[in-house]
Amino acid sequence: MEADGDTRATIAKTMHRSRIPEAPVNYFAKFISAAPLFLRLGIYVESLVRGAELLTEGCLVQQ
């Protein structure tokens, strides 16, 4: 017996709703894979802060 279109759509919605959420290990793996990006971002921010410190230090020395 073949299901009609409405029944198939209902089954698909039910299957989608009952999908098992991702395991925490998967989130951890995603975070670890993004670590190089965070490292580069940290180095960039650190260099901006250091540049601002040097700039203000230079301005204070000139006065």
DSSP label at residue 19? P
Q: Is 3 left (phi over 0), alpha (psi -120 to 50) or beta?
A: beta
In a domain, 47, yes or no: yes
In a domain, 9, yes or no: no
In a domain, 29, yes or no: yes
Q: What is the structure's pLDDT at 34?
A: 84
In a domain, 37, yes or no: yes
In a domain, 5, yes or no: no
In a domain, 58, yes or no: yes
Q: For residue range 12-62, what is the model confidence (pLDDT) as tens digits? A: 666 655 566 666 777 778 778 888 888 899 999 999 999 999 888 887 776
In a domain, 6, yes or no: no
User: How many domains does one find in the chain?
Assistant: 1
The C-alpha atoms of residue 5 and residue 15 are separated, in whole angstroms, by: 15
In a domain, 13, yes or no: no
Residue ranges making up the domain that contains 54: 23-63
Q: Name the nearest CA neighbour of 60 among 52, 50, 48, 45.
A: 52
The C-alpha atoms of residue 3 and residue 17 are separated, in whole angstroms, by: 20
pLDDT band at 1 (very low <50, low <70, confident <90, very high): very low
